Amino acid sequence: MTLTEVLKVKLSDNDLSRESSPTHVYRSRISSNSKSLQEKDTKTALDRINKSISRSTTRIKKDTGKLRRKKLQQSLLRTTSTLQVKDGVSSYKKDFGYDLYTIDTEEIPAPMRQPEMQTMAADEVSDDCVILFDLETTCTGSHAEIMQIAAMKGDQRFNKYVLPTGNISTAAADKTGLNVQTTVQGSRILVHNGRRVAAGSIQSVLSEFISWLRSIQGTNITNGSKVILCGHNVRVFGMHAIISEAERCHLTQDLQAVVGGFMDTLPSLRQFLPGRDSYSQANLYKDIVNEECEGHSLVEDVSALAELVTVSGIPLEVLAQHTVTFLTAVERVRYLNEKNTRLKTLKGRLSTLSSATLNKIACSGLQYSHLKLVFRRGGEAALKHLLSEPISGTRTVRVSKDKQVHNQIIGHFHEVLTQSSEV
């Protein structure tokens, strides 16, 4: 109980005569003074507390501000470092082995992803548009050259040979019977099973093929739709071969003007006839048509495919599900061709890496010179960051987070660095 409260209790117990006594007045003054002092002390204490809180708040704000500025500076530093490593910088440190007067503006490409092919709309696919075709090529790799083009639409046929500029692989020669020979005069000629055949350049034959397709489009298709090239396993090989040749001959736009897409009978028949051991054209023809597929010529192969599609009874709706647009097919082929070009720069140099890892590096848009450049600009840390860079919109990284992969690539460039003053 406070002094004021004590005095109040005592005051209530005394009579009125004592209220005017000097003692009471004295006590009342004491009570009043004590109360005033107490209020003053309380106010002083509160002021001190408020000032302390204010100082603490200010200090917290300052600390928070410093922390934020520090984090922002670190973020900007990381961003700047990443941009410098990827895009090049205007001035360089000697620590990285750079000449201060060297201008380096080469950029590291952003992570790439294989473009998805788009399926044609069902109303764009009709029997009138479908043209069966097949190709013979010098090999099965990315550098395959077309040696023969065969196609048919009803009774209308196309069959032309192409004289390749390069050599024909032994496997392709054994399979097709086609080979290149040199005459006494030094001219190169194309022979089929030992007999010379008329063969033109890919530029002229592909132009003839496009003209033939245009004539089919004009006579067989009444609604103005484009033709659809149909083949067995065409999305894996035939589509790639003909688009690549069109790209080299600068005929892609001409081909696009008449071709709307590519139809693949292999995945179509796999969907329509599930559970078979083999879906090769020869085995399917033997089982469904009940005849052996002789396959002596490309024209016979195309005719056999036409018969296989008819006898199997596969609906057009199923075939349409495996028909991709021409434009997205071109995007895919261009991506794969560029990827193969990048892959060549990696093979033979990063020999300790697996084929799958090398392919992944190339698929991400990187070639050997990019890895070398990043190592020169930022060293081990920059190279690790590049390889493990997250791909936007996915849960995957550009190449790998595997430390073993990182160490193998870094070790390679350290070895190169020791052998040369410039990596």
Residue 71 falls within a domain, yes or no?
no
Among the candidates 302, 337, 372, a domain finishes at 337
If asked whether residues 217 and 333 sit together in one domain, one would say: yes
If asked whether residues 160 and 295 sit together in one domain, one would say: yes
If asked whether residues 311 and 409 sit together in one domain, one would say: no
Residue 175 falls within a domain, yes or no?
no
If asked whether residues 272 and 137 sit together in one domain, one would say: yes
Q: What is the pLDDT of residue 141?
A: 80
This prediction has a pTM of: 0.74
Rounded to 5°, angle at Cα 266 from 209 and 230: 20
Residue 90 DSSP SS3? coil
If asked whether residues 333 and 348 sit together in one domain, one would say: no
Question: Residue 304 belongs to what domain range?
Answer: 122-169+199-337
- Whether the CB-CB separation of 124 and 295 falls below 8 Å is answered with no
If asked whether residues 266 and 393 sit together in one domain, one would say: no
Question: How far is 238 from 228, CA to CA, in rounded Å?
Answer: 13
If asked whether residues 154 and 91 sit together in one domain, one would say: no
If asked whether residues 127 and 226 sit together in one domain, one would say: yes
Q: What is the tally of structural domains in the chain?
A: 3
If asked whether residues 345 and 324 sit together in one domain, one would say: no
Decide: residue 399, CB within 10 A, 0-12 exposed, 13-18 middle, 19+ buried: buried
- Whether the CB-CB separation of 172 and 178 falls below 8 Å is answered with yes
If asked whether residues 85 and 207 sit together in one domain, one would say: no
If asked whether residues 45 and 160 sit together in one domain, one would say: no
- Whether the CB-CB separation of 405 and 364 falls below 8 Å is answered with no
Domain containing 128 — which CATH number? 3.30.420.10
Q: How confident is the chain (423 residues) per 10-residue block, as mean pLDDT?
A: 44 43 41 52 68 67 59 50 51 38 66 92 90 95 92 96 95 94 93 95 98 90 87 95 96 97 97 95 92 78 95 96 97 96 94 95 96 92 94 90 96 87 53
Beta bridge partners of 390: 397
Q: What is the pLDDT of residue 105?
A: 59
How many Cβ atoms sit within 10 Å of the Cβ of residue 63? 10
Count of H-run helices and E-run strands, the chain? 14, 10
Q: What is the pLDDT of residue 151?
A: 98
If asked whether residues 210 and 153 sit together in one domain, one would say: yes
Residue 231 falls within a domain, yes or no?
yes
Residue 180 falls within a domain, yes or no?
no
